[in-house]
Amino acid sequence: MPRTAQNHRLPRGGALALLFALCAPPLSAQQHPPATPDSLRLEVQRLAALVDSLRAEVARLQAAGVTATSAQTQEQDALAKLRAAAAAAASAGGGGVTPPPEKAAEPQEFVGRQRSLQALNPEISVTGDLFGQVIKGSANHEDFFAREFELAIQSNLDPFSRAKVFITRHAPGGEITPFDTGLDGEEGTALNVEEGYMEWVKLPLNLGLKVGLFHQQFGMLNRWHSHAYPFQSRDLPNLAFFGEEPLAGTGLSLHYLAPFGGGGAGTYEATVEVTRSENELLWGTSDRPSVLVNVNGFWQLSASTDLNLALTRVNASYEETDNLFNRVVYGGEVAFTWRPPSRASYRGFNFHGGVKVVDGLVGLDGSRSPGGRDRAKGYWTMAELRLGYSWLAGARYDWTENPHDPTQTSTLFAPTLTWWQSEFVRVRAEYDLLGRSFMDGHDGRLFVQVTFSMGPHKHETY
């Protein structure tokens, strides 16, 4: 038996004597009456059990050949072996162990808080809208034409405001003409500012303010640019009442978002715009102020379905008359969207519809409208069904009266098939069938539209 183990072995009698000596009460305590026999017996049994457990642990360590001293010796031997191996490796390398060099302090670079010149550059994007068409029985038309190129420049001026400018080059071609407007058509190409405005987006009381030239908030689709529109042209009432372009003007627009609602209760907003009358088809030669009021409500009916409703009223004067607001246009639009969240990229359905009414009609010669009628109306519907990740099928049907002669009407039916190559490239095939009450037969034409976009700008679909 190892010597170290003998040093830790205690006789049984000696261990008991030592425990009794430690547990024995002092002399002062012996002067008091002794403890009861039962409690003393229990204490002796507890101490005997403790001694037996200590003896068993000592025996286990002896059987394993491990003692406190041997364990310490083994640890020291292992450390000595590691040191010897490190010294041998250093000698083989041709020198002692050299501590790693201290890393030289790097010079601290000063970073300014000002914006860099690159950050001051605005976002610049270009969008192209290209067409090819086939008209049955007509040889005097352009088969291919670039209808529009748009240069979009936009920038956040500071945390509270931003500015946007859209410069377009528009070429004639592919127009849908429901009625004779009496205005000269656009000849050649033109480079003009379609929109240019600045807006404040974080005003108190949930207000937003816009100043400049902009597409007005007439319903939901009036602010969309041509390349973002669901079909190759605007709805038939828009073509009859406003012309090929949307209703636009120079002035200011005040937007208010209601603080109540949200979720299933709905979200509500209102817009008031005061602009100069700049639409010749609607206001004639008048450039007096026009006032527009729009109210919009949005409801999320479920996780897959949304409903949007917009009501608009805009009024101004036609020509230079004593009555400042002798012509009024009313509009109502509804939009329904179904897109299941788990399959939104492959399945979906969108429906848009609306009605426009012009009150206060005049003839092309400036006289009262024929038949004594003071009102013309029109409605439009359009829908798109998502067939897969890249394919959509759609159709539209529009009907409208002539704002200068309500006895004349026009209809338009157009099915479409759209392929999105990516979010930057779209190819659409559309067949337009136009009918007029004052002409026999229908005019049909097949369009192939290619739209591309370069740069970060993706036009907002408000």
What is the pLDDT averaged over residues 160-168?
A: 94
Cα 420 from Cα 425, distance rounded (Å): 6
pLDDT > 80? residue 5? no
Residue 318 lies in a domain: yes
CATH of the domain at 342: 2.40.160.10
DSSP-based three-state secondary structure for 51: helix
Q: What value does the mean pLDDT take over residues 277-291? A: 87
Using CA atoms, how far apart are residues 386 and 304, in angstroms rounded to an integer? Answer: 14
To the nearest 10°, report the CA torsion of 433, 437, 440, 442: 0
pLDDT at residue 271 is higher than 50: yes
- Asked, for residue 293, whether it belongs to a domain, the answer is yes
Task: Name the least confident of 46-50, 144-148, 428-432, 443-447.
Answer: 46-50
Residue type, 54: L
**Confidence grade of residue 256 (pLDDT, cut at 50, 70, 90):** very high
Same domain, 292 and 376: yes
Give the residue numbers spanning the domain of 9. 1-23+44-55
Average pLDDT over residues 420-427: 93
Q: Is residue 61 part of a domain?
A: no
- Which pLDDT score is estimated for 23? 47
Residue 394 lies in a domain: yes
State the average pLDDT for the chain. Answer: 81
451 vs 47, more confident: 451
pLDDT for position 26: 47
Same domain for 281 and 386, yes or no, is yes
Percent of the chain with pLDDT over 70: 73
Q: How far apart are CA 178 and CA 261, in angstroms?
A: 42
Q: Does residue 138 lie within any of the structural domains?
A: yes
Helix (H, G, I), strand (E, B) or coil at 222: coil
52-79 pLDDT tens trace = 888 887 777 777 665 555 556 666 777 7
What's the pLDDT tens digit per position in 309-351?
999 999 988 876 666 677 899 999 999 999 999 898 899 999 9
- pLDDT tens across 362-382, in order? 554 555 554 455 789 999 999
The answer as to whether 90 is a domain residue is no
Using a cut of 0.75, tell me whether the model's pTM lies above it.
no
Tell me if 62 is assigned to some domain. Answer: no
Determine the pLDDT at residue 266. Answer: 87
- What the block records as the tokens of 440 is 């026999």
> Over the stretch 180-236, which tens digit does the pLDDT of each residue have?
876 655 555 678 999 999 999 889 999 999 999 999 999 999 999 989 988 999 999
Helices (DSSP H) in 65-120: which residue ranges?
68-92, 117-120
Q: How many domains does the chain have?
A: 2
CA diameter of the chain: 136
Q: Which is more confidently placed, 2 or 37?
A: 37
